[in-house]
Amino acid sequence: MKPLSHADVTPAKLYRSRRSFLKTAGNGLLAAALSPALRLKAASAEPPVDTLTPYKDITHYNNFYEFSTDKVRVARLAKNFRTDPWSVEVTGLVDKPGTYDVAAMVAQFKPEERIYRLRCVEAWSMVIPWTGFPISRLLEAVAPTSQARYLKFVTLMDKRQFPGQKNSWYRWPYVEGLRLDEAMHDLAIIATGIYGKDLLPQNGAPIRLVVPWKYGFKSIKSVVKIELVQEQPTSLWMAAAPREYGFYANVNPSVSHPRWSQSSERRIGEFRRRRTLLFNGYDEEVAQLYEGLDLRANF
Ligand SMILES: Nc1nc2c(c(=O)[nH]1)N[C@H]1C(S)=C(S)[C@@H](COP(=O)(O)O)O[C@H]1N2
Ligand SMILES: [Mo]
């Protein structure tokens, strides 16, 4: 499947009026009035095209454990999070390490719009119009040495602003990692905005990672450090539950989470579940990264 562009998606509003029949059918009220045959037809129709998830949902249904494990409380708790000044240290096995102010990063690496599906490991999904730039641009600027094999990303550590970091169940700060060749892939971006607006704190302001073919937890928020390293980093989730969360976390409908199936998902704003796609539908673009890798053992 090709990366989404504006040509492929329908703005939420237009989509709603065009598909008003199905929408109404999904409402329950009218569904009861439909004949069983009609209802079946509506139910078995091909899944609709990807539609942008409304801004309100993207910004009010969030996983950000530093604030809360309750998705609908995150936005309010994140309201006063300080994102300015903010700088990101890029360090480790690089010839040109540096500390980048976010504004300078934006000026240098020129964010563009990227519309991606986001698939959470909990089996819900959204379609988000990010503003961001490929991490490859940053990597070219810092020049990884020949020893660099992985990137380790780290979220801000600040118990005063992040009440969730007092929860000692997790090994804070939040850490995530990518193989260098994964990070060099054009689909992997550093995001600075959504729907053309600056990121809000609940979405990982001022900058966060977005890797659309992997489960959402790889897309680490509010990053303060990117380190090029030789060994595979241990992410917060690998440390918390190694049998449930592997390093790769590629979206894969045929590898179940130990506690639930990954074969389908609930697209936020839709009534019927959708089939989950291998690599979240980006298989044509990324499958070659994993040639020869056992995707079941390396989950
Ligand atoms: N620092 C940090 N990054 C994080 C998380 C988190 O709890 N802390 N949650 C992850 C998970 S599980 C998901 S699904 C996405 C959600 O991103 P969104 O709220 O912008 O949709 O962020 C990911 N990045
Ligand atoms: Mo997630």
Atom of ligand 1 nearest to the CA of 174: 1
Residue 45 has pLDDT above 90, yes or no: no
In order of their start, the domains of the chain are 6-288 (3.90.420.10)
CA of 71 to the centre of ligand 1 (A): 10
The CA distance from 27 to 121, in Å, is: 27
- Calpha distance 42→19 (Å, rounded): 11
Q: Which residue puts its alpha carbon closest to atom 12 of ligand 1?
A: 217
**How far is 220 from 161, CA to CA, in rounded Å?**
17
What is the pTM for the complete model shown? 0.87
Ligand 2 centroid to Cα of residue 37, in Å, is: 37
Asked if residues 228 and 93 have their Cβ atoms less than 8 Å apart, the reply is: yes
Report which of 117, 163, 119, 144 is spatially closest to residue 2, judged by C-alpha positions: 117
- pLDDT value, residue 33: 40
> Is 63 in contact with 216 (CB distance < 8 Å)?
yes
pLDDT value for 49: 79
Backbone angles phi, psi at 108, to 5 degrees: -80, -40
Inter-residue contact 212 to 280 (CB < 8 Å)? yes
Per residue in 95-126, pLDDT (tens digit) is 999 999 999 999 999 999 999 999 999 999 99
| pLDDT tens digit sequence for 141-165 | 999 999 999 999 999 999 999 999 9
- Atom 5 (ligand 1): residue with closest C-alpha? 64
Rounded Cα–Cα distance for residues 169 and 164 (Å): 10
CA 117/CA 219 separation, integer angstroms: 12
Which residue's CA is minimally distant from atom 21 of ligand 1? 62
Cis, peptide link before residue 85, omega less than 30° from 0: yes
Residues with CB under 6 A from ligand 1: 62-66, 118, 120, 155, 174, 203-204, 216-217, 219-222
Rounded alpha-carbon distances, angstroms, from residue 145 to 92, 140, 141, 234, 281: 9, 11, 12, 21, 32
Q: Which ligand is nearest to the CA of 223?
A: 1
Neighbours of 216 (CB within 10 A): 20
Q: Whose CA is nearest to atom 1 of ligand 1?
A: 221
